[in-house]
Amino acid sequence: MDYDVIVVGAGPAGSCLAAALAAGGASVALLDAARFPRPKCCAGWLSARAVEQFRFLDGVRRKVKAAPFRRLVFHSPDLGQTAVYSSRAHLGYVVRRDRFDAELVRRAKAAGADVLLGQAVTRIEPAESQVSVTRSRGRRITGRFLVGADGARSEVARQTGLRDHWPTDALVYCLTRDIPLTRRQVAAGPGTGQAHVCLGFGAAPGYAWVFPGAGYASVGIGVRGQSAAAALADLYEQWVEGLTGAGLLPAGADASRPCGGVVPAGAAIEFENHVGKRSVLVGDAGGFASAVSGEGIYPAIWSAAIAADCIQSALTADRRRIKTDSCQDELQKFRQVWRQDMAQYLQMPNVNVTFLLPLIFSNQEIADRFGRAFLFGENL
């Protein structure tokens, strides 16, 4: 056996899980087809709740110079009205995903994981006592357990038979770009210390955003479902034009060539196959993203922490060989624990959002409720 655990995907879920397992004494291989730092299509929003729950993230966000914000500004679809949810404490941070993810990979390596970058997975073979993974150029490694942390279009999910693809209505399709800005441009435009969100822009099922970072602004839009995605490019252009006209983006800022991506927002709720034979899906591979906001970094790390505990227990059972099914039983506990701990955070509100939405701009209590639902997964 080459490793106790093979983790495919070195984003936040995979890197944090690999670091936790390696720090606990497991032998871990962390694989990714990319080499880090690498670009990542993402708004780059890190929840303050994530930093509170996982204290190591405070050091990470400081190291990568994440930009904090204390105000969430809601805009009406015509950008004519605003409502503000604010706090004395930080509500979240805006991070550059290339730097943030690279720092998490470095942390996994420092904990003792073997980090194998530029290693695309070509074949996965689960068996009764191990899982084998064949990498590019035919290189093969084996492990007691396998973790799929390889994104929404997970190859681990497909090859283990846990999922072929997500239903199209479970996916949020996004276009986003990090636009370089000077300090003067940031101050004159979106401002520092605040994030901007426009719910239902262009009457689309989703929202548009401006998240000011350190020397740049993340600008983008996400819509749910393939039919809405057909108009995404036009909506993005309209959003940029609207921002420029409203003074939230400097004229001449280069918003061209946005990158595209998909987020399985809230998809974990209806998905039952997170655990297979000696395998677990975490992060976007398991649909762990907020249904309300599409936020994925915090749920990814959260799901990884739960999976790490279950895998540690499964490793103990496997080594002791108490009985044949004991290690798989420990792995299966992941399904119960994440639902108990995370389901409320991930699911859609249990009220008519369309009815309440216009009230954001006339009722501060409603604005505050929307702010907490958007940022922290609280129910409306």
- The CATH number given to 1-44+96-166+264-347 is 3.50.50.60
Q: Tell me, what amino acid is at 236? A: Y
Residue ranges covered by each domain of the chain: 1-44+96-166+264-347, 70-90+169-262+349-380
The pLDDT assigned to 48 comes to: 97
281 has pLDDT over 60: yes
CB 191 within 8 A of CB 86: no
At a CB cut-off of 8 Å and minimum separation 6, what does 328 contact? 277, 278, 314
Q: Are domains 1-44+96-166+264-347 and 70-90+169-262+349-380 of this chain identical in fold?
A: no
What is the per-residue pLDDT across 152-209, written as a single tens digit (0 to 9) for each?
999 999 999 999 999 988 999 999 999 999 888 888 888 889 999 999 999 999 999 9
Q: For residue 37, is the peptide bond before it cis, meaning its omega torsion is within 30 degrees of 0?
A: yes
**Phi, psi (rounded to 5 degrees) for 327:** -65, -40
Distance (Å, rounded) from C-alpha 98 to C-alpha 166?
26
> Angle at which helices 326-346 and 297-320 pack, to 10 degrees?
170
What is the per-residue pLDDT across 362-380, written as a single tens digit (0 to 9) for each?
999 999 999 999 999 988 7
What is the per-residue pLDDT across 310-365, written as a single tens digit (0 to 9) for each?
999 999 988 776 555 788 999 999 999 999 999 999 998 877 777 888 899 999 99
**Phi, psi (rounded to 5 degrees) for 40:** -145, 125
The H or E element containing residue 306 is helix 297-320
Strand, coil or helix: what is 102?
Answer: helix
Handedness of CA 375, 215, 12, 24 (dihedral sign): negative
Bridge partner list, 222: 174, 207
228 has pLDDT over 60: yes
In CATH, which of 3.40.50.10540, 3.40.50.300, 3.30.70.20, 3.30.9.10 is domain 70-90+169-262+349-380? 3.30.9.10
Distance (Å, rounded) from C-alpha 157 to C-alpha 159?
6
Q: Tell me, what amino acid is at 336? A: Q
Q: What is the mean pLDDT of residues 239-259?
A: 93
Distance (Å, rounded) from C-alpha 167 to C-alpha 172?
11
CB 98 within 8 A of CB 40: yes
Mean pLDDT of the chain: 94
